Chain A
Amino acid sequence: MTRPLIELEHIARRFPSQSGREPFTAVRDIDLAVDEGEFVAVVGPSGCGKSTLLNMISGLDAPTEGLVRIDGEQVRGSVRHDVGYLFQKDALLPWKTVQANVELPLVFRRLPGDHAALARDWLARVGLSGFERNFPHQLSGGMRKRVALAATFVYGPRILLMDEPFSALDVQTRNLMENELLELWRQNRKTVLFVTHDLEEAIALADRVVVLTSNPGRVKKQFQIDLGRPRNVNEIRFEERFRALHEEIWEALREEVARSYAAQRAHG
């Protein structure tokens, strides 16, 4: 048995709060392992520390307790260079063209080779040929997400962290992007950790779904998604097995969503 690519051991992350109150615990007691090439979705109620988890794996943030290991090597306080990260919010630089935005990681990493050609190639793969000289504010939300995808794939990270990347899009665009992501993943076999609060999206995309508890987040239960591939997210929702899985996982998730909702109401 080979070693998992990403290993989290007893992770906890606490944030100091103002005015001497109890520190805020975002996540605790998290144990999770992700194999190379696996597509794992993490679901949980809002505020359960999903984004914190991704930040710690990328090295943007460090756990208060426990270890994060990638390929057996501990991640500690500095950003990993084999990780790609797709954020929920737009993160393109508004003052650079689409082409320049996709070339940017190659510039940052001082990679050799023809940056312009590589960027054009990836823009073509996400269907944005002809938009190289546009600025982000001239594109639709879905197109901007594609630019962000191209800018992530262009430097070939082994691991792809995705933080509700499509949640701001309308349903049609979103399904389109999900299918495109699956196609890119089929061709490149990255290891993907996909955070979402949409259970259907999680089941449709992933090999495995991890359910987190409400705050502070812990791993509640994990489910193998034994649906065949390649998948089409529009059609797979109607399969019998999809519905059964949905029912089973929702059983675990519902309790947490209710608890999180009650906690939010208690805090006003």
Chain B
Amino acid sequence: MRRSGRMVRVRRILGAASPWLIVVMLLLAWQGATDFGFADPRYLSRPSTVAALIWEWVRTGFILRHVEVTVVEVLVGYSAGTVAGMLVAFGFFFFPRVAALCDPMVVVLNAAPRAILAPFAVLLFGIGVLSKMMLVLLAVFTITLLNLYAGLKEVDRTIVDNARVMGAGQRDLARHVYIPAALVWIVSAMRISIGQAFTAAIVCELLGATEGLGWIVAAGQSAVKPDWIMAGLFFAAAIVVVVDFLVLAPLERRGSHWRVF
């Protein structure tokens, strides 16, 4: 059975386009259902309304301030959490007794997404940006700690022995072996935690804030304006996807051959 080259090409293009086709079909179905009265636009809104609202927010610059608030919260918490996670992971690695002592606490911290602690953060640190930063910090800290600690323990015994025979002291090992090995795990932790960081910030904003993307969604919820909720979530989702797929994923791919070759 042979297929002509043209058939193969058409199939390939169709294959690459199929995810987009699905999205377009879903949007059309949604629009149609609300336009022709199968669904109530007061609850479901409709794509054209949401798109118009998104455009209006961009045009008037209304959304900028809120994007900025959320991004700054995430950025601060994310950086602090990554650094803190790195420090503690190295601490655990070089002092295994401390690690054994703290193990149950880490298990508890890791068992559920940290966004669950949002009411606690709001009550303790108020409805300003601080509570969001702290929650993001905690979320990122745990992920970085666990990933990096596991990664450090997996650094190949032979590589360490080899470096020691070649004359490496503790500081040489840290600088030339452990820290470069750790970078790979830090990047992969950063990838895992970016979604959790935004989730934590937004959930925290939902429970108590005066600005930010989560506040927009919460305002839409209390005023029963589904187009506000959706447009707000659209911006949140767009930021996460852009950061993940355009920044962190390529970074992770570049470092992937460091792990094995």
User: Are chains A and B touching in the complex at the 8 Å CB cutoff?
Assistant: yes
A residues lining the B interface (CB < 8 Å): 55, 58, 60, 79, 81, 83-85, 87-96, 104-105, 107-109, 135-137, 151, 155
Interface band, chain B? 20 to 34
Convert B159-194 into 0s and 1s, putting 1 for each residue whose CB lies closer than 8 angstroms to a CB of A.
101111111110010001100110100000000000
- B174 to chain A: closest CB distance in Å? 12
Which residues of the other chain, A, contact B181 by a CB distance below 8 angstroms? 95
Most chain-B Cβ atoms within 10 A of its Cβ — which of A79, A92, A96, A151?
Answer: A79
Q: Is B261 an interface residue (CB 8 A)?
A: yes
Q: Report whether A135 and B257 are in contact in the complex, using a CB–CB cutoff of 8 Å.
A: yes
Point out the residues of chain B lying under 8 angstroms from A55, CB to CB. 161
Contact (A136, B261) CB under 8 Å given A87-B158, A87-B161, A89-B158: yes
A122 to chain B, nearest CB (A): 13
- The proximity string for B residues 88-115 relative to A, scoring 1 for CB distances below 8 Å and 0 otherwise, is 0000000000000000000000000000
Taking Cβ atoms with an 8 Å cutoff, the residues of B that contact A are 156, 158-159, 161-169, 172, 176-177, 180-181, 183, 257-261
Q: With A87-B162, A91-B162 given, can you name 7 additional A-B contacts, CB distance below 8 Å?
A: A84-B165, A91-B158, A91-B163, A93-B180, A95-B183, A107-B176, A135-B261
From A81, A84, A91, B156 is in contact (CB under 8 Å) with A91
Write the nearest CB–CB distance from A154 to chain B, whole angstroms.
9
Quick one: given A94-B259, A104-B176, A108-B172, are A151 and B166 in contact (CB under 8 Å)? yes
- Once bound together, how far apart are the Cα atoms of A135 and B260, in whole Å? 12
Q: Is the interface of A mostly helix, strand, loop or mixed?
A: loop
26 A-B pairs within 8 Å (CB atoms) are namely A55-B161, A58-B165, A60-B161, A60-B165, A83-B165, A85-B165, A87-B162, A91-B159, A91-B162, A93-B159, A93-B163, A93-B176, A94-B257, A94-B259, A94-B261, A96-B176, A96-B180, A104-B166, A107-B176, A108-B168, A108-B169, A108-B172, A109-B167, A136-B261, A137-B257, A155-B167
Chain B residues near A155: list those with CB within 8 A: 166-167
| Alpha-carbon gap, A94 to B162, bound state (A) | 13
Q: Which of B166, B168, B258, B260 contacts A95 (CB 8 A)?
A: B258
Q: In the complex, A155 Cα to B162 Cα: how many Å?
A: 14
When C-beta atoms are compared, the residue in chain A nearest to B261 turns out to be A137
A109 to B172, CA, bound (A): 10
Contacts of A60 in B (CB 8 A): 161, 164-165
Please judge, given known A-B contacts A93-B177, A94-B258, whether A81 and B167 are in contact too, CB under 8 Å. Answer: yes
Report the nearest B residue to A79, measured CB to CB: B164
Q: Which B residue's beta carbon lies closest to that of A91? A: B162
Bound CA span A105–B172, Å: 10
Q: In the assembly, what is the distance between CA of A136 and CA of B259, in Å?
A: 12
A93 to B179, CA, bound (A): 12
- Beyond A91-B156, A93-B177, A136-B261, is A108–B163 a contact (Cβ under 8 Å)? yes
* Chain A neighbourhood of B165, CB < 8 A: 58, 60, 79, 83-85
Tell me which of B164, B166, B176, B258 has the highest count of chain A C-beta atoms within 10 A of its own C-beta: B166
- Given the complex, which residues of B lie within 8 Å of A89, measured CB to CB? 156, 158
Chain B residues positioned under 8 Å from A92 (CB to CB): 159
Most chain B C-beta atoms within 10 Å of own C-beta, residue among A60, A88, A89, A108 = A108
The answer for the CA separation of A95 and B257 in the assembled complex, in Å, is: 8
Known: A93-B180, A137-B257. A85 touches B159 (CB 8 A): no
Contacts of B260 in A (CB 8 A): 94, 137
CB distance from B235 to the nearest CB of A (A): 37
Asked whether, in the complex, the Cβ of A91 is within 8 Å of the Cβ of B161, the reply is yes
Of residues A81, A89, A135, which shows the largest number of chain B Cβ atoms within 10 Å of its Cβ?
A89
B162 x A85 contact (CB < 8 A): yes
The 10 closest A-B pairs by CB, nearest first: A137-B261, A91-B162, A105-B166, A108-B167, A109-B167, A85-B165, A95-B180, A108-B168, A89-B158, A137-B257
Q: Least Cβ distance of B42 to chain A in Å?
A: 57
Residues in B whose Cβ lies below 8 Å from that of A94: 257-261
Q: Measured between alpha carbons, how far is A109 from B176 in the docked complex, in Å?
A: 13
Cα A83 to Cα B183 in complex, Å, equals 31
Contacts of A95 in B (CB 8 A): 180-181, 183, 258
Contacts of A81 in B (CB 8 A): 167
Determine the distance from Cα of A84 to Cα of B164 in the docked complex, in whole angstroms.
Answer: 10
Cα(A79)–Cα(B163), bound, Å: 11
Contact residues in A for B156 (Cβ distance below 8 Å):
89, 91
By a CB distance below 8 angstroms, the chain A residues around B257 are: 94, 135, 137
Contact A85 B167 (CB under 8 A): no
